[in-house]
Each structure stands twice: as C-alpha cells, then as structure tokens.
Structure 1
Amino acid sequence: MNQNTNKTVLILGANSDVAKQCIRQYIQKGFSVIAASRNTKSLKDFVAANHLDPSKITVLYFDAADFDSHQSFYNQLPAKPHIVVYAAGFLVDNQEALTDFKGAKQMMEVNYMGGVSILNIIAMDQSNKNLERIIGLSSLSGVRGRKSNFVYGSTKAAFTQYLAGLRQELAFRRITVNALVIGYIRTKINEGLQLNESLIMEPDYVAKFIVNAGNSFTIVPNFKWKIIYFILKILPESLVAKLP
C-alpha cells in the first residue's frame, strides 16, 4: 500500500498551470487532493481530460481575495490537510499597476493578503494533527526590486517573508514551511510576454519540486535560476538599477 494513501493535500489557487500538474503528480503518489479555485469548471474539465481518479480528488470553490469566506471554507473541508500548497497568483503589467491602483490592489490581495489570511487559519488550527507541510509559491521577482515589475515583486517579497516567519512559528510542531522561488514558466499568466526561451520552465517540471519538497526553506527550481537567484541576492544596488 502506498504510504500516502490516507494523506490529503489542499491546493489553493488550483487552476494555475503549475497547480494542475501538482494535482496530477500528488494523485500519482497516492495522495487525495482537495483542489480549490474560483474556476471550478476548469478544474473539473482538467480532471476529466486527464482521466484522474474522481475518488481521489475533490473540487471546491475558493476565492483568495474574499477574506471573510476563508474561515468557513476551512471549516467545511472534507478532510484536514497534511500538506497545503498556496498557488494563487495574479499579475498585471507594472505600468498598469502604477497608474491604476485596482490592478495593484488585486495583486496584493491574491499574492499576499489572501495567502496570509487562509494560511493563518490553517496554521493556527492546532486540532489538526495531520498538518506536516505548507508550501507557498513565490517568485524571483520578489528577490530584489526592479523597475520593470516592482509592484508585483513587492507582493511576492512580502509573501516570502511571511512564509519565513511562519516556518519559525511552526517549527516546534514539526511542520515544514517551504517557499518555491520560481522564474519564468510557460503558463497562461506569462502569455504574450517577451521572455528568454532558454530560461522558461514547463509547469510539470516545476510541479515536481513542489510535490517532492524537502526541508530547505527556499527552493529554486532549475540550476540556471539558482545562479540568477544568488546573483540577484548579492548584486550591488547600482547594478540592480541598470536591470530592466
């Protein structure tokens, strides 16, 4: 019997391309999956198209920006999760974010505030003895502020710092917290952007790092992105200012 047969994964923002591949891979490893998103139809279509075992997956409605609904959403889960993946994300162009606060606000709500809201609820439920891991999807955009995407990057930077503190908060309960710091992925959120093709990762490739996350806090998929991550960390401000 697969050792994960009785374990449940909750994926929040499960309609993203990476999250959908996580669903498939977690089920292959024997987990049951609760996939939560605003677009439940797309998730159900994905389950049917990939011939996934319907007994192993539950699709639920979840709105990351509807903070008032988060407690009732959690209370009504069919099972308390062993693993939680926060994959909800939203992106608008930096110029749009600078000139129209509506887009900036939505990025803050989905990328950061929604994560803090629901993960606080999950993490503080000490009656859930199942919980063993929380994984948050962050971005290389949050490592340093760059003029091309600093509004979006600021939401990811805030989320990474939140996850770092949450990791310390939950360490005594032996709950692992990971931050996936991700570069370019071939997903619908990046359609139309002029990106370096040699740096683009496929969603199923990134999903493997999530599903097989170890103990390290920061996980950077792909050695090229690892190099970029460490360069960004140490680059002097005068050189960061010259980046696009």
Structure 2
Amino acid sequence: MEQNKAKNVLILGANSDVAKQCMKQYVQKGFSVMAASRDTGSLEHFVQENKLHSKVTVLSFDAVDFAAHQNFYAALPAKPHIVVYAAGFLVDNASALEDFEGAQQMMMVNYMGAVSILNIVAMDKENKNLERIIGLSSLSGVRGRKSNFVYGSTKAAFTTYLAGLRQELASRNITVNALVIGYIRTKINAGLQLNESLIMEPDYVARYIVNAGNSFTIVPNFKWKIIYLILKILPESLVAKLP
C-alpha cells in the first residue's frame, strides 16, 4: 500500500455504480481519488456516507461540455497517475432509431466526450505521472446486433479509439486498457429484461478495473469471456439471427 500512497486516480463519470465501487477500492489500496461527475451532490453524499472524504475530491465534469474540458483538466488539484473513463448513457435501440436526440446523446457521452477529455489527458507530456488510462466499453460493441446496434456502435468506436491510443502511448510506457463488459446490476440497466445468471455486481467489475494488468482487452467473468470469443468468430449469417 505504501508505494501507492502518493498516487492519484481521476475517475470521469464517477457517479456510475461501477465507478463508485472503484472509488472505494482505490482508496482501500491507498490511492487518492479525484471523482468527477455532473451530479456532484449525489457524489458528495456517497463520499460522506462511505467516509471517503479524506481521500476523495469531488469535481464537476460534464462529458458533453467539450469546450470546458481543457479548463477542467488544467484545474485538477493533481496530475493523475491513472484515468478511468466511466461515463455512459443508454437508450433502447427503438428509441434511438426513432429519436435522434437519444442516439446523439449516446454518441456524445460514450464516444465524443471520451475522445475529447482523453486526448487532453494523453497529450499532456508534462505529466510524468501518467501510467494508465482505462475505458469502460461493452460487449455490445463487439458485433453489430439488431437489438442494440446504435448503442453498440458508440462502444465499438470507443474500443477502437482506445486501441489506437494504446499504440500512441506505448513509447511513453503508458498502458491503455479497454474493459469490455457484459450485464451489470446498475441503474443504467434497471428495468431491462436480462439473463439473471449473467448479471455481474458493480464491485465485482470494479475489481477488474482497479487491478487491471497489461492486456488491452479485459473481459470480467469467464461466462462473458466465452460469449466475447463466440461473438468474435461467429459468421455474419449467425450474428444476424441473434436478438
């Protein structure tokens, strides 16, 4: 724990259920956390309730306010060693097809906002602390499927961006990870009809984030690893028959 004592983690989209569990686990490992979200009131309540205030600084961050991202980064209380992009937005596929506003919001939060802020983080070559960037992606982005291809396309784009960013930053010994995640018991999935045996708890997923290694693609849970591999190799004719 001692070696991590002075290290700082920046969590973007820190009000998500998984991000909150990451906060707790990073603090347990001795990190200081900068937790950034639009809803700072809810985040402050979580921090106080879990007695994390001595190690967590709550910051205001809007993933879609692209013009404010440079100033947000410049005003950080410390340069991060680790950055986690956990911001996410989801509307169902039918709504996304009928109403572009929902589709656009998914694009802006899940992809454009990530590229905007992570480009700023990555191109700050004066930050000698930076050692890792972690993005939360989804199995929905592995193959286009008729049930969720609009949302999936935003996650596919994000994963592709992270893959290229990993190559860009390799010469500076900065690791980039993509968490390719299946169903999680979170508020973003509330009300959806999901296979209960495949649902993961937020704290379980958070452990994979906090303990991320050198692999680019990290798929929590062996069942989802199998599904991921099957999706990668299925011929298009069979993918078309999936829901």
Task: With the length of structure 2 as denominator, give the TM-score of the two structures.
Answer: 0.99
* Residue of structure 1 equivalent to 2:9: 9
**SS of match in other structure, 2:36:** strand
- Provide the C-alpha distance between the structure 2 equivalents of 1:3 and 1:214, rounded to a whole number of angstroms: 17
Residue type of the partner of 2:99?
Answer: D
* Residue of structure 1 equivalent to 2:51: 51
- Provide the C-alpha distance between the structure 2 equivalents of 1:226 and 1:16, rounded to a whole number of angstroms: 23
Runs of 4+ with >3 A deviation: none
* Residue of structure 1 equivalent to 2:94: 95
Q: Counterparts in 2 of 1:1-244, with a 5 A limit?
A: 2-52=2-52, 54-244=53-243
**SS of match in other structure, 2:208:** helix
**SS of match in other structure, 1:137:** strand
Residue type of the partner of 2:45?
Answer: D
Residue type of the partner of 1:3?
Answer: Q
- Provide the C-alpha distance between the structure 2 equivalents of 1:49 and 1:200, rounded to a whole number of angstroms: 26
Task: With the length of structure 1 as denominator, give the TM-score of the two structures.
Answer: 0.99
CA RMSD of the aligned region, Å? 0.6
**SS of match in other structure, 1:117:** helix
Deviation string 1:124-173 (CA, Å, 9 cap, x unpaired) is 00000000000000000000000000000000000000000000000000
For this pair of structures, how many residues does the alignment match?
243
- Provide the C-alpha distance between the structure 1 equivalents of 2:68 and 2:196, rounded to a whole number of angstroms: 40
- Provide the C-alpha distance between the structure 2 equivalents of 1:187 and 1:50, rounded to a whole number of angstroms: 18
Identical positions, percent: 83
**SS of match in other structure, 2:91:** coil
**SS of match in other structure, 1:3:** helix
Structure 1, gaps ≥5 residues long: none
- Provide the C-alpha distance between the structure 2 equivalents of 1:55 and 1:222, rounded to a whole number of angstroms: 32
**SS of match in other structure, 1:206:** helix
- Provide the C-alpha distance between the structure 1 equivalents of 2:2 and 2:234, rounded to a whole number of angstroms: 46
